[in-house]
């Protein structure tokens, strides 16, 4: 009765009873759908909201702001240094009119990412190397090619193969 009184009149209530043979217990299941009443489950939601409140972090700005005057167009490019270069190395170059303060600052601005030390590039004992599907597929194909090459090396030529003793030699055709 208490559930029927609390739930909306349009709600669907499913009532189920099951009996367990080994314990001789009766299990009652009550399911109410379409209640439309948030106060029935409001206690659970409030606890979750309190646990999920974000923490605000204020960052202090250490660099002075750039001047608001626009003297010339500034163009920034990203490109790798060489085709055989490591993936971490990049050069950022800027171009602007050389007479402006911004242009002079950008002409001095060359950024090269330092390549990681050999210790950092090697996987640690507990963590496996992360690979994408293309690199995994390439490695599998390389391993298959190596296995096929080994099998071909050990494959015996047809003229050296022996026939089993229980099988007679093939007869010549008409």
Evaluate whether 113 touches 88 at the Cβ level (below 8 Å): yes
Residue 32 pLDDT greater than 70, yes or no: yes
**Backbone angles phi and psi of 69, in degrees to 5:** -70, 135
Identify the weakest region by mean pLDDT among 29-43, 50-64, 137-151, 157-171: 50-64
DSSP per-residue letters across 74-121? -EEEEEES-TTS-TT-EEEEEE--TTSHHHHHHHH--EEPPPPPHHHH
Rounded percentage of the chain residues whose pLDDT exceeds 70:
39
**For range 168-173, the mean pLDDT:** 60
- CA 123: distance to chain centroid? 18
Residue 90 pLDDT greater than 50, yes or no: no
Q: For all residues of the chain together, what is the average pLDDT?
A: 64
- Where along the chain do its domains lie? 2-42, 75-115
Cα→Cα distances 98→49, 55, 108, Å: 55, 45, 11
Residue 171 pLDDT greater than 70, yes or no: no
* Tokens encoding 116: 């990681």
**For range 90-107, the mean pLDDT:** 49
């Amino acid at each position: 009765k208490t559930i029927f009184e609390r739930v909306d009149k349009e709600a669907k209530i499913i009532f189920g009873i099951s009996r367990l043979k080994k314990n001789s217990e009766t299990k009652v299941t009550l399911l109410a759908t379409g209640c439309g009443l948030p106060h029935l489950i409001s206690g659970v939601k409030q606890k979750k909201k309190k646990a999920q409140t974000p923490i605000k972090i204020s960052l202090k700005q250490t660099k002075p702001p750039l001047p608001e005057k626009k003297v010339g167009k500034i163009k920034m490019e990203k490109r790798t240094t060489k085709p055989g270069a490591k993936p971490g190395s990049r050069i950022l170059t800027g171009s602007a009119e050389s007479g402006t303060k911004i242009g002079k600052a950008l002409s001095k601005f060359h950024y090269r990412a330092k390549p990681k030390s050999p210790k950092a590039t090697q996987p640690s004992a507990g963590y496996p190397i992360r690979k994408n599907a293309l690199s995994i597929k390439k490695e599998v194909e390389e391993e298959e090619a190596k296995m096929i090459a080994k099998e071909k090396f050990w494959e015996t030529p047809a003229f050296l193969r022996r026939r089993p003793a229980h099988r007679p030699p093939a007869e010549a055709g008409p």
